[in-house]
Amino acid sequence: MLDVERWTFSDKSQVLMRVLYSFAVCIFGLSAQITAMFAAESDNPLINESALPYHYPDFDKLKDENFVPAIEAGMREQLNEIDPIANSSEKPTFENTIVAMERTGRLLDRAQRTFSNLNACDTNPTRQKIEKETAPKLSAHRDAIFLNPKLFARVQALYDKRDSLGLDPESAYLLERYYKDFVRAGAKLSDADKEKLKKVNAELATLQTDFEQNVLKERNASSVVVDKKEELAGLTDDQMKSVINAAKAEHKEGKFVIQLQNTTGQPLLGSLQDRHLRERIMQASLSRNSKGGEFDTRNIVLRTAQLRAEKAKLLGYDHWAAYQLEDQTAHDVPTVNKLLGDLATPAVANAKREAAEQQKIVDQEKGEFQIAAHDWDFYSEKVRKAKYAFDESEVRPYYELNHVIVDGVFFAANKEYGLTFKERHDLPVYQPDVRVWEVFDRDGKPLAIFIGDYYARASKRGGAWMNAYVQQSDLFGTRPVVANHLNIPKPPAGEPTLLTHDQVRTAFHEFGHALHGMFSAVKYPRFSGTSVPRDFVEYPSQVNEMWANWPEVLKNYAKHYKTGEPMPQALVQKIESSDKFNQGYKTTEYLTASLLDQAWHQLSANEIPKDAVAFEAEALRKAHVDFAPVPPRYRSFYFSHAFAAGYSAGYYSYLWSEVLDADTVEWIKEHGGLKRENGDRFRAMLLSRGGSADALGLFKNFVGRDPYIEPLLKRRGLDSAPGSGATKGE
């Protein structure tokens, strides 16, 4: 019998597809419906691998109607590929089982990766609908593979005799990871429990999609509208232009609109003199997704926590955090709790000292009020000016976006790794502002494609991130196509894009992720690039931040956008001397969010509260971080890391990674800083390895010992804080 499905959805060329289509019509007299399906699939740019360099996506040919057929075709194709592996009568071998599984699902990976990336950076109602409809289907598809008893039996048989297979280190680790993936997915459960798990997974997939979409919609709907220009006293000319442009974008001409970003803190709070307006902005931010209405996520949070706890119990864990952390470098809940608990006391103590300094200024100005969350940015800037004679607005003219990227980020990568970059204008993009570079290796050979998507827009999720459209793999002979996404407000036409110091640091950070993806040199796609434990993935990117302030790099990019004059040394010294400024606040707001994440995910199935708001408040009180002037970086109800993205029970990862990062930065400084020898070593021993070896082992091999926490404490100004008491450890 003709296997139409295999013919239609295999990863063949456009020409072959059309030949098969014509053959089927002529010989088999397929129905008009099937005929139309063949024609539609043959024109779908996702069905066939792109013929562009590096298999770069055909963005100019992609239409929203291409995504669902490609994703569904990809699921069918992968199941057709998995079936003969699971039902093979041959004795299981590494090649016919593990490598064979690695070879499956290329169409699905391409379609899903392209869709999810575009949906994150340029969504629309159609794409949101697709995401919502496909999420439970993709969850069920994964379950169909990882809960297949015949397939797991073959993996189990190989795992049981793993020491006698004579595998190379990467292959041996792949076998180990596949076994763990199956077990953690529920492969050892009874048939009845597998059915329960499938239902939980499907509902969780829908809940996570609903949460992410509601957060984006609420953020866009929560803009603060200002009627009078006088209320905006304190804003710079550029900031005024941004609120005017925002009003035009929202069709509110004649008014001024302050759009919110994902985090609790909002950028303009440091400039606005009107205390009442600052309070309005902070309240709008804090109340997002928890004040009723169609975008309220409180019930989603509760239901998600419930289902995750139930899933953990099914799989034999006390709670979701125990399940998640077992597969991270931290390994267990007590380790994470100790890290967060040890830092909470000195961080809050520092924050309270910072608040006291601000209160002195309020009292001197006869303000007659106590410092509140909406005052912090405004008065901390006053303290910064008084202490360091430093004003954030002083540095922005020296941080023009193109100079930062080309003469800063790329310059550092050239000095450390020998990379060169050539901008390409011949490859299609999904937004006019998106830029594309080809990256060449130290020997001049092509290495990767890098996509830069830097501007904020309503269709883009908040924050900054890196993703890969194409992953490196020796198995398939593919080279990376990676992208960085930031959310920098776009200035009016003809105006320069001037960044804050934090935005500059973020650009270097995200490119650290890009380097991790571009330098990948693994055989198996399972290990490519940033496919590492969640609490390790931020480590290499945080290391890359060090070059933002490195004298040789800073001198090359920090030039006045009008005059081309380098940043004055006096201003550079102000930046350096104020590096530890406000670290009590920054550490506390991060810790409070991390502690909330753990509080929700260390609940057992019978401990889920009925009132999400009350639970959040009590969790902060119990952790001794309930300091009102410093609210969590994310409240539970717009905490996408914890309830939509892959950081559930893992938001601590940034701090955990920073322990490794700060230690590595000290090592690099001690060994000469920005030089090729250090870059080549970091690349060879860590960046190129992806997830092909134990993550913490890669760190230890690079620095030659276990990590120390002291460099982190020193960086954050916590080394001399009362109650710090931290010692060496992992």
The tens digit of pLDDT for each residue in 505-528 reads 999 999 999 999 999 999 999 999
Q: What's the pLDDT at 727?
A: 28
Q: Answer yes or no: is pLDDT of 283 > 80.
A: yes
Closest of 45, 25, 44 to residue 34, by C-alpha: 25
Higher pLDDT, 21 or 609: 609
How does DSSP classify residue 52? S
Q: Answer yes or no: is pLDDT of 38 > 80.
A: no
Q: What's the pLDDT at 22?
A: 47
Question: No. of H helices and E strands in the chain?
Answer: 30, 7
d(CA 368, CA 358): 13
d(CA 659, CA 653): 10
**Residue 629, amino acid:** P
**pLDDT-derived band at 388, boundaries 50, 70, 90:** confident
- CA distances in angstroms from 535 to 287, 551, 728, listed in the order given: 29, 30, 18
Kindly report the average pLDDT of the chain as a whole number. 91
Interval 431-439 mean pLDDT: 97
Cβ partners under 8 Å of residue 683, min gap 6: 417, 519
**Residue 44, amino acid:** N
Q: What's the pLDDT at 40?
A: 53
**pLDDT-derived band at 288, boundaries 50, 70, 90:** very high
Beta-strand ranges (E) seen in 446-599 are 446-455, 465-470, 481-488
Q: What's the pLDDT at 5?
A: 27
Q: What's the pLDDT at 728?
A: 27
Lowest mean pLDDT among 307-316, 378-387, 473-482, 599-608: 378-387
CATH 1.10.1370.40 occupies which residues in the chain?
4-209
Tally Cβ neighbours within 10 Å of residue 465.
18
d(CA 62, CA 590): 39
- For CA atoms 646, 647, 649, 650, the dihedral sign is positive
Q: Answer yes or no: is pLDDT of 268 > 90.
A: yes
Q: What's the pLDDT at 579?
A: 80
Closest of 300, 260, 351 to residue 636, by C-alpha: 300
Q: What's the pLDDT at 43?
A: 87
The tens digit of pLDDT for each residue in 136-169 reads 999 999 999 999 999 999 999 999 999 999 999 9
Phi and psi torsions of 454, nearest 5°:
-105, -20
Strand, coil or helix: what is 295? coil
**Residue 186, amino acid:** G
- For CA atoms 469, 471, 472, 474, the dihedral sign is negative
**pLDDT-derived band at 213, boundaries 50, 70, 90:** very high
The CATH code of the domain at 4-209 is 1.10.1370.40
% residues pLDDT > 70 (the chain): 93
- CA distances in angstroms from 232 to 110, 239, 277, listed in the order given: 47, 10, 8
Q: Looking at the annotation, which residues are catalytic?
A: 510
**Residue 300, amino acid:** I
Strand, coil or helix: what is 310? helix
Closest of 493, 23, 460 to residue 241, by C-alpha: 493
The tens digit of pLDDT for each residue in 661-714 reads 999 999 999 999 999 999 999 999 999 999 999 999 999 999 998 888 888 888
Q: Answer yes or no: is pLDDT of 108 > 50.
A: yes
**pLDDT-derived band at 299, boundaries 50, 70, 90:** very high
- For CA atoms 589, 509, 479, 653, the dihedral sign is negative
